Amino acid sequence: MPHPSPTGSSPLPPRDGVDAAWVRFPDFSPWATVGAAIHAKYPEHWNRFADRLRRGAVVDMHGTPVDAETPLRRGMTLFYYRDLPAEEPVPFTITVLYQDENIVVADKPHFLATMPRGRHVTETATVRLRRQLNLPELTPAHRLDRLTAGVLVLTARAQVRGAYQELFARREAEKEYLALAAFRPALTLPLTRRSRISKAPGARQAHEIAGTPNAITHISLDAHDGRTARYRLRPETGRTHQIRIHMCALGIPIVGDPLYPEVNPEPAGFTEPLQLLARRLAFTDPITGRHHVFVSERELTLS
């Protein structure tokens, strides 16, 4: 069973909105020292790690600096601040729809990732809002794809994080999306798409496969101009790319989708967003008991 991420128990606080990175070594490692272990595991990054170790910029779970000669303990986890790559700024604003002591509800633009991952670190909703609101513990309660815009809930304090993340894990939040795609008069709507979706590790696309359905989306027509339609979608489940896959399977792939039906390079710049919007989100607050309804201020307009 994989270990959970130790980010929440890091002895290093977020720096400029970005969590410290970490590396964990197996319970039974063949290396005697921290330096030998890092050199073996990350040879291409050894020079940068060696410099951090010399400067005392790598610490253990207790915040104690380690160096290359520190003995490697069983199951040892180390923390450090990564060197952040230069990122192209996403030229759109993330706005706050609601804030209290427990949560921040944001209206995320297209092209902005939800949280740091891979080549997107500072240009993410989490880091931008941590800096903007001075909330270093701000963490998403759920996730929106980078290319999807709309309502996103983040927790403001580590003490309440689990309650809100469980709310979404138990599917107790009501979600409604809007999408633009081709108008198909022969398609009888409303309808419910049920299928089994699977995504192989490392693959960019997920696929519908035979088997018991694990993805359910309710789809209805909101408006059309004879060529393009705006569809209203209510997912019961939250499989990877679920809405995009279900729309594509119906012969109406979402406008601007670089993955479905075929994988294509994303257009240069920020001029052709995926026409998918997380428009509305409703749930009963697990801490206060208050019923919340949040609606995006963004629009998908028929041309």
Active site residues: 145
DSSP-assigned states of every residue in 152-181: EEEESSGGGHHHHHHHHHTT-SEEEEEEEE
For residues 78 and 22, what is the distance between their CA atoms, to the nearest angstrom? Answer: 6
Cα 276 to Cα 120, 152, 176, distances in angstroms: 20, 14, 11
* Residue 268 phi, psi (nearest 5): -65, 145
Q: Give the residue from 251, 191, 189 showing the smallest Cα distance to 223.
A: 189
Structural contact between residues 257 and 245, judged by C-beta atoms closer than 8 angstroms: no
The string over 167-200, giving b where at least 16 C-beta atoms fall within 10 Å of a residue's C-beta and e elsewhere, is bbeeeebebbbbbbbebeeeeeeeeebebebeee
Structural contact between residues 138 and 126, judged by C-beta atoms closer than 8 angstroms: yes
* Residue 19 phi, psi (nearest 5): -65, 150
Residue 27: how many CB atoms within 10 A of its CB?
A: 10
Q: Identify the burial level of 36 via C-beta atoms within 10 angstroms of its C-beta, where 0-12 means exposed, 13-18 middle and 19 or more buried.
A: middle
21, β-bridge pairs: 80
* Residue 117 phi, psi (nearest 5): -165, 135
